[in-house]
């Protein structure tokens, strides 16, 4: 599909095709999404929800980790960037994830608000130190 889109755009033509987020197409091309997809794809243009599930009793046993789980919410910008780094730039998944966290420090702050390290330290400060950022 991407090759066909590249070919059409190279010839300065327009093309309509099915695209979604997160996906490489969103960083590779300038896209305009059409409205009214709910009729065909379902609510929120067929949007999906990803949940983190833990075993019964885990929240009481490990409230700090549960807090992190509940606060982690990914966005398309972060996900599209990681996908592009891995597929286009041939970056390792670990390096792409690290770069994404460095680029999205505000998101990282919301994830780690009130989360502590295993020894009781500030979780955000520990992650920022590991990433080499402030």
CA gap 82, 23 in Å, rounded: 10
DSSP-derived secondary structure letter, 104: T
CA gap 127, 47 in Å, rounded: 31
CA gap 45, 51 in Å, rounded: 19
Domains in the chain, ordered, with CATH? 2-46 (no CATH), 58-131 (3.40.190.10)
Q: Within the chain, how many helices (H) and strands (E) appear? A: 10, 0
Q: For the segment 28-74, what is each residue's pLDDT rounded down to a tens digit?
A: 999 998 888 888 889 988 888 888 899 999 999 999 999 999 999 99
pTM score, whole prediction: 0.82
Across 98-104, average pLDDT: 96
């Amino acid at each position: 599909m991407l090759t066909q889109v590249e070919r059409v755009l190279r010839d300065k033509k327009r093309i309509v095709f099915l695209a979604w987020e997160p996906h490489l197409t969103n960083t590779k091309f300038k896209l305009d999404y059409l409205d009214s997809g709910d009729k065909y794809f379902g609510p929120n243009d067929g949007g999906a929800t990803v949940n983190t599930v833990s075993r019964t009793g885990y929240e009481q046993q490990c409230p700090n980790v549960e807090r992190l789980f509940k606060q982690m919410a990914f966005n398309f910008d972060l996900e599209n960037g990681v996908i592009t780094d891995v597929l286009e730039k041939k970056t390792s998944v670990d390096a792409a994830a690290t770069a994404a966290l460095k680029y999205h420090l505000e998101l990282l702050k919301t994830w780690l608000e009130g989360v502590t390290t295993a020894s009781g330290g500030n979780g955000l400060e520990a992650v920022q130190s590991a990433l080499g950022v402030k």
